[in-house]
Amino acid sequence: MLYSTMHRVLTATIIISNCNRMMAIYYRVILLLIVSSRTNGSCNFTVSVPTNAKPGTDVVSVQSLMRMEKEELPCVIVEGDLYGRFTVSTNCTIVVARPLDSSVQSKYLLKIRVRRLQNPGDLVVRLKVNVTNVLGYPPVYNETCKTPVRHSVEGTSEFLFSGTLTAEFETTSGDVMFLKETLNKPREVWDMDSRKLSIITGNTCQFSAVFGVRGLNDVMVAAELFQSHHVNFTLKVFCQAESGQMPKVSVQLFSTQSKLKSDLHPLEQVVPNVMAKLQHPPLVYLFSVAYPTKSPTRYNCKFPSLQRPIMLSTDIDTVRVKHVQRITLDVNPVGCAPGKYGLLCDKTCICENSARCHGFNGACKCTDGWQGVACDIPKPGVSVTTTPSDPSDIFISANIIIHCQVHHLDVNTLSLRLPNESVIVSYGANRLDKTLFNIQSKDSGPYVCQVRDTRRNTFKTTIVLDIANCPPNKKGQLCDERCDCSGFARCDRWVGCVCPPGRTGTRCETTCPDGTYGKDCGKACSCQHGAICSNSDGTCTCTAGWYGSDCNVRCPKYRYGLRCQQACTCKNDAVCDNVDGSCACVAPWTGKDCDEKQPTRSEPLVESLVPVGCLIVLVVFIATILYKKNFVCRLAHRIDGETEVVLEIEQVEADLAQTVRPGWLSRWETTSRHLTLGHLIGLGVFGHVIQGTLQTSDGEIGVAAKSVRRKDTQCYRNFYREAAILVAVHEDQHHDNFRSNIIRLLGLINESSHKYILLEYASKGNLLRLMRREKRRDGAQSFLQCLRYAVHIARALQELQRLAITHCDVAARNVLITADDVAKLADFGLARDVYATVQYVADDGNGKEELAKNLESEVFPLNWMSLESLETGQYTCQSDVWSFGVLLWEISTLGQEPRYDGNNRPSCLRLARTLRRGIRLRRPPECSGEMYDVMSSCWQENPSARPGADVVEKRLLQLNLAFEMETAV
Ligand code: AMP
């Protein structure tokens, strides 16, 4: 509003009439300019200036008005500016010298004496200056939200408010975390400065701040918030004061990528041209705060539920938040240092003559005798005050002093009239003090100070005293009874003790009964499960096993104890007690942690009681039944025809002994009768993949059924290895099917003629094919989407790292894309756990050649492999990071095949030598420097110097944003 007014003002036409000669249009003036004609050897002009014109602003150049451009006109204001609002600069330009205030003086009649050097004699110019109103100016000093003045101590915060944010949330790893962040650090720590923050403060105890998000962590959190909500351009969090009154905080997050102007409209309304002002940040927060109070306030915030976890960096760790249980914000107005105001205490007050400066908007509250926006214009008159000054400290039987003080007048007489009509008079003095001893109710009424100055002008001011309170701790008609309230209760003359929230009783001696809190214990606590309820504000302190604002949320499955801080140790599907962590075992497991096996009851019976003959009969009986049901047939076949298979399974189990629990195959086994096969959708090195449908108890679902390509050792080994690794991933207690970026396992079929790994069907196929297809369309958009996929795969690698599993074949061809555009890591045929330090050959003298021969078979993706994998056959999570770097290279080229020095199929030894010489995949022409930096960091020779998958994820998120911004511009 203000800006548009100014704009109109600046573009207004300047109308000039004649005074001797034509006047020039002087564009530096601020407002409408009217010039009248010459009278009696002097020129009369009228100009206007807005009331909010800052000191230093040019009003008009008299020299230009007179069209005397060549002459230097010395001139001086000789009349009409009693309080020095204007001054004269070069070219006889009239300049605002001190703040104007149209409510104090809206017209000035300046008499300016102009000395003409060439012509003898001075010229008098009369300039009428109209001070025009500007909406919302001067700012109003609103007592409702006045803030204290802080006597600043070095190193303390520089905010008008101090605040504490407390959050409680669950992480994807099943932890419950508590976060407390206090706004008491210097501003730089918060990465806040005026360039990044635009603040609008109103007169009504409200302010809005627009804050461009730039810091890496903030950008990432904000970006993830967007992703987790599937929202396009805004996200809102509302906080309501606990008292349920007016105070409100709302935080809105805007993505500036929107091309629709209306999406950013709320921002523009607060700060016009905000994007340019904040230098086009990718994301913008808009805080709107209504704070019509002087007291500390607690806000409870409503955080929208997360559809995907978000990453949050705390001082200690980076965690993935899946649910925000509660957020509270405690705000306390602490004020700025003397002479400063604004949310960041970065604005300088203009108030003079001991005036108070309002913390919100810098409005001045003048002391007696002063007026104007800066309280620098004398206000002739008389003021009346008392000691003590606070009316609540004036009570029956006290002694008080009434002061009459004259300001900016030459006093003739000064008098004070008391309510009983008696008058005290002094002559010539500009101050009169009257002490009243042992005041009583009868002394209540008006006290009038009156002054008569030497020019016979009269000024008077009245104060009305209501002397009705008893002295401290006294009550009753005669103020002769004692209150003796306990705690912070107040003693009222008629009511007695007035209790603070949380206290009750005639003397406020008792705390609120259990289950109640607040003023007069009138509110019911909502705390559950034995939580302690704060008597004053109803805050719940949860007992062990529970959390949440009402303590009604049970600790997550694997957590127990106070604030859910203890990790459960129960094994084998046992249920962990949320309070004390004790384990309820599932048969046949027993023991404290349910990790000891209990002999089944029938075993000793069979051993001791059943004679051997009976046992044989029993076996024959069972065998007959099984035979009839076709089971023995399968078993027999397995033993005869699938010795190799069984051996492979044993081998895989031995390799992955640390990773998979025995019985893994049977736990996931289903029958081929439930599977209907469709068409072939993919051919891998070891297997083929067929689309199909699987009948489950929940109905039919689409699956991808992966089988062996050939019935040979290598294929079986890869098949079972993949199956076992996927089982290990899916049986991990922290695995979450809906959030994981690893392809979902739905079941295993392990029949002699049908062997399938049943996987969720990823309808968009593998990433390599997708990229090559998309390349022909919008390259930039495809790249952006692929960057998001890369972030997903970085997350998959983090999951594998947690499980100590290495994938060993991270590449675009092994990334599958689901219908809702989530990338999932697949093809675990080469995966292994890090405990199996498998070397393909012994590292003896001929080892390297042997290894190289193995690697050069079609099986091994040499160009994706790390240096150490090529040289020693060793795979680690860091070697997966190397391959991930190559995957990024594939993304940068939208699906080209990586080649070193243009050589498509180098020999293993040669490639290792190339890499040792420091040669790496070249930067693709279309790849940015930052992106190439990320991939290059994955190819460091020393595995431990490579970034972790989590670090890569962060950097990709950052790149993603930067790229989004670029493409949006
Ligand atoms: P793989 O042997 O796992 O690399 O699979 C070979 C090809 O089959 C992949 O490149 C995909 O094109 C396809 N494929 C594998 N698994 C799936 C799946 N779960 N959903 C859709 N297509 C798949």
Q: Return the SS3 of 411.
A: strand
Higher pLDDT, 599 or 160: 160
- Of 39-48, 93-102, 315-324, 672-681, the range with the highest mean pLDDT is 93-102
3-state secondary structure 54-116: CCCCEEEEHHHHCCCCCCCCCEEEEECCCCCCEEEEHHHEEEECCCCCCCCCCEEEEEEEEEC
Greater model confidence, 618 or 765: 765
The residue-averaged pLDDT of 184-204 equals 69
Q: Which atom of ligand 1 is nearest to the CA of 686?
A: 2
Query: How many angstroms is it from 773 CA to the middle of ligand 1?
Result: 16
Task: List the single range of 572-581, 656-665, 790-799, 933-942 with lowest mean pLDDT.
Answer: 656-665
Q: Which domain holds residue 540?
A: 512-599
Give mean pLDDT, residues 292-309. Answer: 81
Task: Identify whether residues 516 and 528 lie together within a single domain.
Answer: yes
Pocket test for ligand 1, best of 677, 679, 681 (most atoms within 8 A of CB): 681
Task: Report percent pLDDT > 70 for the chain.
Answer: 79
Q: Count CB-CB contacts under 10 A for residue 945.
A: 9
Range of lowest pLDDT (437-441, 661-665, 889-893): 661-665
Q: What pLDDT does residue 95 have?
A: 97
Hey, what amino acid is at 113?
Answer: R
pLDDT score recorded for residue 325: 82
Mean pLDDT value across residues 67-88: 86
Query: Checking DSSP bridges between strand 234-241 and strand 176-182, what pairing results, if any?
Result: unpaired
How many other CB atoms sit within 10 Å of the CB of residue 920?
Answer: 19
Of 78, 74, 76, nearest in space to 117 by CA: 74
Higher pLDDT, 886 or 5: 886
**Given the residues 809, 827, 833, 880, the one annotated as active site:** 809
pTM: 0.54
Q: Choose one of 729, 761, 793: the last residue of a domain.
A: 761
Residues 437 and 557 in one domain: no
Same domain, 729 and 771: no
- Nearest Cα to Cα of residue 156 among 180, 187, 181: 187
Q: Is pLDDT of 25 > 60? A: no
The Å distance, Cα 765 to ligand 1 centre, comes to 7
- Cα of first residue to Cα of last residue in the chain, in angstroms, is 28
> What is residue 485's three-state secondary structure?
coil
Is-contact 26 59, C-beta < 8 A?
no
The DSSP string of 254-271 is EETT---GGGGHHHHHHS
Q: Is residue 716 part of a domain?
A: yes
- In this prediction, residue 13 carries a pLDDT of 26
Quote the tokens at residue 530. Answer: 């034995």
Which amino acid residue places its CA nearest to atom 5 of ligand 1?
A: 684
Judged against a pLDDT cut of 50, whether residue 185 lies above it is answered with yes
The whole-number pLDDT of residue 156 equals 56
Alpha-carbon gap, residue 267 to 443, rounded angstroms: 56
Q: What is the pLDDT of residue 228?
A: 63
Which CATH number is 696's domain given?
A: 3.30.200.20
CA of 825 to the centre of ligand 1 (A): 10
Looking from the CA of residue 813, the nearest atom of ligand 1 is: 10
214-240 residue pLDDT tens: 665 566 666 666 666 655 556 677 888
Residue 626 DSSP class: H
Q: What is the pLDDT of residue 631?
A: 30
588 and 457 belong to one structural domain: no
Place of tokens 């009349």: 79
Report the side by side order of strands in the sheet with 458-465.
423-427, 411-417, 445-453, 458-465
Q: What are the pLDDT digits (tens) for 113-125?
A: 988 766 667 789 9
Q: Are residues 653 and 616 in the same domain?
A: no
- Over 60: is that where the pLDDT of 865 sits? yes
User: Do 28 and 61 sit in the same domain of this protein?
Assistant: no
Do residues 376 and 353 touch, judged by C-beta distance below 8 A? Answer: yes
CA–CA gap between residue 874 and residue 907 (Å, rounded): 18
What ligand 1 atom has the least distance to the C-alpha of 768?
10
What's the average model confidence in pLDDT over 552-558? 81
Indicate the pairing of strand 42-50 with strand 122-132: parallel
pLDDT for 765 equals 92
SS3 404: strand
- Atom 2 (ligand 1): residue with closest C-alpha? 684
Q: Are residues 520 and 569 in the same domain?
A: yes
> What pLDDT band is residue 504 in, cutting at 50, 70 and 90?
very high
Q: Is residue 481 part of a domain?
A: no
Atom of ligand 1 nearest to the CA of 759: 19
207 found inside a domain? yes
Residues in the chain: 969
Can you give the CATH number for the domain in which 459 is found?
A: 2.60.40.10
Q: Averaged over 204-208, what is the pLDDT?
A: 86
Residue 809: active-site member:
yes
For ligand 1, atom 10, the nearest C-alpha belongs to 766
Q: Are 44 and 81 contained in the same domain?
A: yes
What's the pLDDT at 240?
Answer: 82
Query: 730: CA distance to ligand 1 center in Å?
Result: 19
Q: Same domain for 803 and 911?
A: yes
- Higher-confidence position of 246 and 665: 665
Cβ 681 vs Cβ 765: under 8 Å: yes
In whole angstroms, what is the distance from residue 175 CA to residue 189 CA? 28
Q: Whole-angstrom Cα distance, residue 179 to residue 190?
A: 16
Which pLDDT band, with edges at 50, 70 and 90, does 483 fall under? Answer: very high
Question: Where are the extended beta strands (E) located within 337-422?
Answer: 340-341, 347-348, 356-357, 364-365, 370-371, 377-378, 381-387, 400-407, 411-417
* Summary mean pLDDT of the chain: 81
Mean pLDDT, residues 884-904? 88
Residue 760 Cα to ligand 1 midpoint, Å, equals 10
Measured from the Cα of 684, ligand 1's closest atom is 2
pLDDT of residue 318: 60
In the predicted structure, residue 959 carries a pLDDT above the cut 80 = yes
Higher confidence at residue 165 or residue 825?
825
Q: What is the CA radius of gyration of the chain?
A: 41
Name the residue at shortest CA distance from atom 7 of ligand 1: 682
The pLDDT assigned to 792 comes to 96
Q: Tell me how many domains the chain contains.
A: 8
Q: What is the pLDDT of residue 689?
A: 87
851 vs 249, which has greater pLDDT?
249
Between 600 and 741, the higher pLDDT residue: 741
Ligand 1 center to 725 CA (angstroms)? 17
**pLDDT value at residue 603:** 39
Q: Which of 465, 500, 532 is the last residue of a domain?
A: 465
Q: How far apart, in Å, are the Cα atoms of 7 and each of 14, 72, 284, 537?
A: 14, 32, 26, 50
Q: Are residues 188 and 209 in the same domain?
A: yes
What is the number of the ligand 1 atom nearest to the C-alpha of 722?
A: 3
Name the pLDDT band for 252 (thresholds 50, 70, 90): confident
pLDDT at position 19 = 45
pLDDT for the residue numbered 908: 82
* Same domain membership, residue 695 and residue 617: no
Per-residue pLDDT at 876 exceeds 70: yes
CA–CA gap between residue 254 and residue 257 (Å, rounded): 9
Site to substitute for ligand 1 among 722, 766, 770, most atoms within 8 A of C-beta: 766
CATH of the domain at 120: 2.60.40.60
Q: Whose CA is nearest to atom 8 of ligand 1?
A: 682
Which atom of ligand 1 is closest in space to residue 827's alpha carbon? 3
> CA–CA separation, 331 vs 341, rounded Å?
17
221 occurs within a structural domain: yes
- Angle in degrees, CA 342, 344, 348, rounded to 5: 50
Q: Which of 685, 689, 815 should be mutated for ligand 1, with most atoms under 8 A from CB?
A: 689
Residue 362 covered by a domain? no
- Residue 800 located in a structural domain: yes
The partner residues of 324 in beta bridges, in order of sequence, read 169
Q: Tell me, what's the pLDDT at 416?
A: 97
Nearest CA to ligand 1 atom 21: 762
- pLDDT at 5 (0 to 100): 34
Which residues line ligand 1 at a C-beta cut-off of 6 Å? 681-682, 684, 687, 689, 704, 706, 743, 759-762, 765-766, 813-814, 816, 826-827
**Final residue of a structural domain among 698, 730, 761:** 761
pLDDT at residue 861 is higher than 70 = yes
Question: Residue 23: pLDDT above 50?
Answer: no
Positive/negative CA dihedral, 478, 484, 485, 489: positive
Q: State whether residue 155 is helix, strand or coil.
A: coil
- In this structure, is the dihedral angle defined by the CA atoms of residues 266, 271, 273 and 274, taken in order, positive or negative? negative
Listed residue (41, 93, 40) closest to 65, CA to CA? 93
pLDDT at 919: 92
Q: C-alpha angle 791/793/796, rounded to 5°?
A: 120
d(Cα 137, Cα 139) in Å, to the nearest integer?
A: 5
Give the pLDDT band (50/70/90) at residue 247.
low
| pLDDT value for 502 | 92
Ligand 1 atom with the smallest distance to the CA of 762 is: 20
* pLDDT number for residue 371: 97
Residue nearest to atom 17 of ligand 1 (CA): 704
Give, in order, the Cα–Cα distances in Å from 473 to each of 444, 479, 486, 818. 21, 9, 11, 74
Which of 547 and 790 is assigned the larger pLDDT?
790
Interval between CA 743 and ligand 1 midpoint (Å): 10
pLDDT for 441 equals 93
Greater model confidence, 79 or 848: 79
Percentage of residues in the chain with pLDDT exceeding 90?
Answer: 42
CA of 704 to the centre of ligand 1 (A): 7
Residues 529, 564: Cα–Cα separation, whole Å:
14
CATH, residue 777 = 1.10.510.10
Residue 834 has pLDDT above 90, yes or no: no
Highest mean pLDDT among 155-164, 536-545, 947-956: 947-956
For residue 147 the two structure tokens come to: 């803030």
- For the ranges 157-166, 249-258, 267-276, 872-881, the maximum mean pLDDT occurs at 872-881
Residue 152 lies in a domain: no
Q: What is the pLDDT of residues 404-424, one digit of tens each?
A: 999 999 999 999 999 999 999
- Listed range (12-16, 176-180, 504-508, 711-715) with the worst mean pLDDT: 12-16
Joined tokens for residue 117 = 């050097």
CA distance 647 to 713: 10
Q: Is residue 410 part of a domain?
A: yes
Q: How far is the CA of 591 from the centre of ligand 1 (A)?
A: 43
Contact 383, 405 (CB under 8 A): yes
DSSP letters, 687-748, are EEEEEEEEEETTEEEEEEEEEESSSSHHHHHHHHHHHHHHHHHHHSTT--TTT-SBPPEEEE
* Gap from CA of 712 to ligand 1 centroid (Å): 20
User: What residue's CA is closest to ligand 1, atom 22?
Assistant: 765
845 and 931 together in one domain:
yes
Rounded to an integer, what distance in angstroms lies between the CA atom of residue 720 and that of residue 644?
Answer: 12
Report whether the peptide linkage leading into residue 861 is cis, meaning its omega lies within 30 degrees of zero: no
Nearest alpha carbon, ligand 1 atom 1: 684
